[in-house]
Amino acid sequence: MAQRSSAGRGGTATRTGRRPGNQTPNTPEVSEAAISRMRVDEIRGQLRRHGVSGTSALRKPELVRTLVKTLRAERRSGGTKGPGRGATSGGRSTSGGRSTSGGRSAGGAAVRTGPRTSRSVRSSQVIATLTDRPERPGRSLVTTNHDVIRRWARERNAKPATIRGTERDGRAGVLTFNMPGYRESSRVREITWKEWFRTFDLRKLNLIYQERLRDGRMSNFFRTESPDREDG
Protein backbone atom coordinates (compact mmCIF):
# COMPACT_ATOMS: atom_id res chain seq x y z
CA MET A 1 0.00 0.00 0.00
CA ALA A 2 1.37 3.39 -0.95
CA GLN A 3 2.27 5.59 1.97
CA ARG A 4 0.72 9.02 2.14
CA SER A 5 2.64 12.09 3.15
CA SER A 6 1.21 13.70 6.25
CA ALA A 7 2.04 17.07 4.70
CA GLY A 8 -0.32 16.38 1.80
CA ARG A 9 -3.43 15.27 3.71
CA GLY A 10 -6.56 16.80 2.25
CA GLY A 11 -7.43 20.31 3.41
CA THR A 12 -4.75 20.59 6.07
CA ALA A 13 -2.48 22.91 4.11
CA THR A 14 -5.30 25.37 3.46
CA ARG A 15 -6.55 25.55 7.03
CA THR A 16 -3.08 26.02 8.50
CA GLY A 17 -1.88 28.43 5.84
CA ARG A 18 0.91 26.08 4.76
CA ARG A 19 1.79 25.95 1.09
CA PRO A 20 2.56 22.73 -0.82
CA GLY A 21 6.06 22.07 -2.08
CA ASN A 22 8.95 23.52 -0.16
CA GLN A 23 7.79 23.88 3.44
CA THR A 24 11.19 24.55 4.96
CA PRO A 25 11.84 28.29 5.42
CA ASN A 26 15.04 29.84 4.08
CA THR A 27 15.97 26.58 2.32
CA PRO A 28 14.69 26.92 -1.27
CA GLU A 29 16.33 23.69 -2.44
CA VAL A 30 14.78 21.48 0.24
CA SER A 31 11.33 20.17 -0.69
CA GLU A 32 9.54 18.05 1.88
CA ALA A 33 6.96 17.11 -0.73
CA ALA A 34 9.67 15.81 -3.05
CA ILE A 35 11.38 13.86 -0.29
CA SER A 36 8.09 12.29 0.79
CA ARG A 37 7.66 10.90 -2.75
CA MET A 38 10.97 9.03 -2.49
CA ARG A 39 11.11 5.36 -1.56
CA VAL A 40 12.13 4.49 1.99
CA ASP A 41 15.38 2.90 0.78
CA GLU A 42 16.26 6.04 -1.16
CA ILE A 43 15.72 8.26 1.87
CA ARG A 44 17.86 5.98 4.03
CA GLY A 45 20.55 6.03 1.36
CA GLN A 46 20.53 9.82 1.29
CA LEU A 47 20.81 9.98 5.06
CA ARG A 48 23.78 7.60 5.03
CA ARG A 49 25.53 9.73 2.42
CA HIS A 50 25.01 12.72 4.69
CA GLY A 51 26.57 10.89 7.62
CA VAL A 52 23.37 9.96 9.45
CA SER A 53 23.31 6.42 10.83
CA GLY A 54 20.89 4.35 12.91
CA THR A 55 17.94 4.84 10.55
CA SER A 56 16.98 1.19 10.04
CA ALA A 57 14.23 1.31 12.70
CA LEU A 58 12.68 4.62 11.57
CA ARG A 59 9.42 4.73 9.66
CA LYS A 60 8.95 6.84 6.55
CA PRO A 61 7.53 10.01 8.21
CA GLU A 62 10.45 10.02 10.66
CA LEU A 63 12.93 9.45 7.84
CA VAL A 64 11.45 12.36 5.87
CA ARG A 65 11.67 14.70 8.86
CA THR A 66 15.24 13.59 9.59
CA LEU A 67 16.41 14.16 6.02
CA VAL A 68 14.73 17.57 5.86
CA LYS A 69 16.35 18.56 9.17
CA THR A 70 19.75 17.34 7.96
CA LEU A 71 19.55 19.18 4.65
CA ARG A 72 18.29 22.33 6.39
CA ALA A 73 21.28 22.32 8.72
CA GLU A 74 23.67 21.85 5.80
CA ARG A 75 22.13 24.70 3.79
CA ARG A 76 22.38 27.05 6.75
CA SER A 77 26.00 26.12 7.35
CA GLY A 78 26.82 26.43 3.66
CA GLY A 79 27.67 22.72 3.34
CA THR A 80 25.72 21.68 0.25
CA LYS A 81 26.43 18.11 -0.81
CA GLY A 82 25.85 16.70 -4.25
CA PRO A 83 23.56 13.84 -3.15
CA GLY A 84 21.43 16.28 -1.15
CA ARG A 85 20.69 18.36 -4.22
CA GLY A 86 19.65 15.27 -6.12
CA ALA A 87 17.34 14.17 -3.33
CA THR A 88 15.40 17.40 -3.05
CA SER A 89 15.03 18.73 -6.55
CA GLY A 90 13.01 16.08 -8.32
CA GLY A 91 11.51 13.60 -5.87
CA ARG A 92 14.09 10.88 -6.51
CA SER A 93 17.80 10.89 -6.05
CA THR A 94 19.62 11.83 -9.24
CA SER A 95 22.72 10.17 -7.90
CA GLY A 96 20.87 6.88 -7.54
CA GLY A 97 23.33 5.72 -4.92
CA ARG A 98 26.17 5.79 -7.41
CA SER A 99 29.66 5.14 -6.14
CA THR A 100 31.74 7.94 -7.63
CA SER A 101 35.09 6.53 -6.68
CA GLY A 102 34.62 2.97 -7.92
CA GLY A 103 37.14 1.93 -5.27
CA ARG A 104 36.98 0.11 -1.97
CA SER A 105 33.61 0.09 -0.29
CA ALA A 106 34.49 -1.37 3.10
CA GLY A 107 33.59 1.91 4.77
CA GLY A 108 29.98 1.74 3.59
CA ALA A 109 30.10 3.17 0.06
CA ALA A 110 26.83 3.56 -1.78
CA VAL A 111 25.48 0.91 -4.12
CA ARG A 112 26.92 1.13 -7.61
CA THR A 113 24.45 2.01 -10.34
CA GLY A 114 24.65 2.82 -14.01
CA PRO A 115 22.54 3.21 -17.15
CA ARG A 116 21.76 -0.52 -17.22
CA THR A 117 21.20 -1.14 -13.52
CA SER A 118 18.70 -3.95 -13.04
CA ARG A 119 15.34 -3.70 -11.34
CA SER A 120 16.64 -6.14 -8.72
CA VAL A 121 19.22 -3.62 -7.51
CA ARG A 122 16.77 -0.71 -7.54
CA SER A 123 14.12 -2.61 -5.59
CA SER A 124 16.47 -4.13 -3.00
CA GLN A 125 17.07 -2.61 0.43
CA VAL A 126 20.51 -1.03 0.67
CA ILE A 127 22.68 -2.40 3.48
CA ALA A 128 25.62 0.01 3.78
CA THR A 129 26.95 -0.72 7.28
CA LEU A 130 27.06 -3.55 9.79
CA THR A 131 24.36 -1.82 11.85
CA ASP A 132 21.79 -1.82 9.04
CA ARG A 133 19.12 -4.50 9.33
CA PRO A 134 16.60 -5.94 6.84
CA GLU A 135 13.15 -4.41 7.09
CA ARG A 136 11.57 -7.87 7.17
CA PRO A 137 12.42 -11.55 6.61
CA GLY A 138 12.62 -12.42 2.93
CA ARG A 139 13.64 -8.88 1.92
CA SER A 140 16.00 -8.64 -1.05
CA LEU A 141 19.17 -6.79 0.01
CA VAL A 142 22.07 -5.17 -1.85
CA THR A 143 25.49 -4.11 -0.60
CA THR A 144 29.04 -3.27 -1.60
CA ASN A 145 30.35 -3.20 1.98
CA HIS A 146 33.21 -5.64 2.53
CA ASP A 147 32.45 -6.15 6.23
CA VAL A 148 28.77 -6.89 5.54
CA ILE A 149 29.73 -9.44 2.88
CA ARG A 150 32.28 -11.12 5.15
CA ARG A 151 29.76 -11.41 7.97
CA TRP A 152 27.09 -12.88 5.68
CA ALA A 153 29.57 -15.48 4.40
CA ARG A 154 30.96 -16.28 7.86
CA GLU A 155 27.49 -16.98 9.24
CA ARG A 156 27.03 -19.60 6.49
CA ASN A 157 30.56 -21.00 6.65
CA ALA A 158 30.93 -19.85 3.04
CA LYS A 159 34.35 -19.36 1.49
CA PRO A 160 35.16 -16.80 -1.25
CA ALA A 161 35.49 -18.56 -4.57
CA THR A 162 35.46 -18.22 -8.34
CA ILE A 163 34.45 -20.51 -11.21
CA ARG A 164 37.35 -22.21 -12.97
CA GLY A 165 37.69 -21.27 -16.61
CA THR A 166 36.20 -17.80 -16.20
CA GLU A 167 39.42 -16.05 -15.14
CA ARG A 168 40.44 -12.99 -17.13
CA ASP A 169 43.38 -10.59 -17.23
CA GLY A 170 45.13 -12.37 -14.38
CA ARG A 171 42.22 -12.05 -11.93
CA ALA A 172 39.29 -14.13 -10.78
CA GLY A 173 36.35 -14.48 -13.13
CA VAL A 174 32.80 -15.21 -11.98
CA LEU A 175 32.62 -14.64 -8.23
CA THR A 176 30.78 -17.07 -5.99
CA PHE A 177 30.95 -18.71 -2.57
CA ASN A 178 31.76 -22.29 -1.69
CA MET A 179 29.19 -23.37 0.90
CA PRO A 180 28.98 -26.73 2.65
CA GLY A 181 26.45 -28.81 0.71
CA TYR A 182 25.63 -25.93 -1.60
CA ARG A 183 26.84 -25.35 -5.18
CA GLU A 184 29.70 -27.76 -4.65
CA SER A 185 31.27 -28.40 -8.02
CA SER A 186 34.63 -29.32 -9.49
CA ARG A 187 34.60 -25.89 -11.17
CA VAL A 188 34.38 -23.96 -7.89
CA ARG A 189 37.83 -22.78 -6.81
CA GLU A 190 38.32 -21.12 -3.45
CA ILE A 191 40.34 -17.89 -3.42
CA THR A 192 41.41 -15.38 -0.79
CA TRP A 193 39.17 -12.55 0.37
CA LYS A 194 41.80 -10.13 -0.96
CA GLU A 195 41.48 -11.57 -4.46
CA TRP A 196 37.68 -11.80 -4.21
CA PHE A 197 37.26 -8.15 -3.17
CA ARG A 198 39.88 -6.98 -5.67
CA THR A 199 37.76 -8.42 -8.48
CA PHE A 200 34.53 -7.26 -6.84
CA ASP A 201 35.74 -3.64 -6.73
CA LEU A 202 37.56 -3.57 -10.07
CA ARG A 203 34.38 -4.74 -11.80
CA LYS A 204 32.26 -2.41 -9.64
CA LEU A 205 29.90 -5.19 -8.63
CA ASN A 206 27.02 -5.23 -6.16
CA LEU A 207 26.07 -8.23 -4.04
CA ILE A 208 22.34 -8.97 -4.07
CA TYR A 209 21.43 -11.36 -1.27
CA GLN A 210 19.02 -12.37 1.51
CA GLU A 211 19.54 -12.82 5.22
CA ARG A 212 16.36 -14.75 5.97
CA LEU A 213 13.55 -16.43 4.09
CA ARG A 214 10.00 -15.24 4.69
CA ASP A 215 9.49 -18.01 7.22
CA GLY A 216 12.55 -16.84 9.19
CA ARG A 217 14.94 -19.59 8.12
CA MET A 218 18.45 -18.60 7.05
CA SER A 219 18.72 -17.90 3.33
CA ASN A 220 21.74 -18.75 1.17
CA PHE A 221 20.52 -16.74 -1.82
CA PHE A 222 23.08 -14.42 -3.44
CA ARG A 223 24.31 -13.18 -6.78
CA THR A 224 26.74 -10.53 -7.95
CA GLU A 225 25.78 -7.96 -10.55
CA SER A 226 27.39 -5.06 -12.40
CA PRO A 227 25.60 -1.82 -13.33
CA ASP A 228 26.71 -2.64 -16.87
CA ARG A 229 24.90 -6.00 -16.50
CA GLU A 230 28.15 -7.91 -16.79
CA ASP A 231 27.72 -11.39 -15.35
CA GLY A 232 29.08 -11.55 -11.81
3-state secondary structure the chain: CCCCCHHHCCCHHHHHCCCCCCCCCCCCCCCHHHHHCCCHHHHHHHHHHCCCCCCCCCCHHHHHHHHHHHHHHHHHHCCCCHHHHHHHHCCCCCCCCCCCCCCCCCCCCCCCCCCCCCHHHHHCEECCCCCCCCCCCCCCEEECCHHHHHHHHHHCCCEEEEECCCCECCECCCEEEEECCECCCCCEEECCHHHHHHHHHHCCCEEEECCECCCCCECCCEEEECCCCCEC
Do residues 211 and 131 share a domain?
Answer: yes
Look at residue 59 and tell me whether its pLDDT is greater than 60.
yes
Cα(first)–Cα(last) distance of the chain, in Å? 33
Greater model confidence, 81 or 78: 78
**Are 62 and 108 contained in the same domain?**
no
Asked whether residue 105 falls in the same domain as residue 88, the answer is no
132 domain-assigned: yes
Q: Classify residue 216 as left (phi > 0), alpha (psi -120 to 50) or beta.
A: left
d(Cα 81, Cα 45) in Å, to the nearest integer?
14
Per the structure, the complete domain to which residue 148 belongs is given by 98-232
Q: Within a domain: residue 9?
A: no
From 66-70, 84-88, 132-136, the region with the lowest mean pLDDT: 84-88
Check whether residue 129 and residue 228 sit in a common domain. yes
Same domain, 114 and 191: yes
Of 54, 81, 96, the one marking the end of a domain is: 96
Report the C-alpha gap between 44 and 115 in whole angstroms.
22
Predicted pLDDT of residue 12: 37
Distance of alpha carbon 163 from the chain centroid: 27
For residue 13, being part of any structural domain is answered with: no
Tell me how many domains the chain contains: 2
Shared domain for 92 and 103, answered yes or no, is no
Is pLDDT above 50 for 93?
Answer: no
**Residue 142 counted as domain residue:** yes
Q: Which pLDDT belongs to residue 140? A: 93
Asked whether residue 11 is domain-assigned, the answer is: no
Per-residue pLDDT at 100 exceeds 50: no
pTM of this prediction exceeds 0.85: no
Do 115 and 49 lie in one domain? The reply is no
Do the domain assignments include residue 75? yes
Spatial distance between the Cα atoms of 44 and 221, rounded to a whole number of angstroms: 24
What pLDDT is recorded for position 184? 61
Domain boundary among 96, 130, 154: 96
Of 58, 74, 96, the domain-final residue: 96
- How much is the pLDDT for 99? 36
Q: Are residues 59 and 84 in the same domain?
A: yes
Structural domain includes residue 15: no
**154 and 103 in one domain?**
yes
Residue 12 lies in a domain: no
- Give, in order, the Cα–Cα distances in Å from 64 to each of 18, 29, 94, 204, 216: 17, 15, 17, 30, 29
Q: What is the mean pLDDT of residues 142-149?
A: 94
What confidence score (pLDDT) does residue 134 get?
93
- Inform me whether the pLDDT recorded for 66 exceeds 80: yes
Please report, rounded to a whole number, the percentage of residues in the chain having pLDDT higher than 70.
68
With beta carbons less than 8 A apart as the criterion, state whether 13 and 20 touch.
yes
| pLDDT band, residue 151 (cuts 50/70/90) | very high
Q: Are residues 90 and 102 in the same domain?
A: no
Q: What is the mean pLDDT of residues 73-84?
A: 58
CA distances from 54 to 51, 61, 66, 133 (A): 10, 15, 11, 10
Residues 110, 67: one domain?
no
Same domain? For 78 and 168 the reply is no
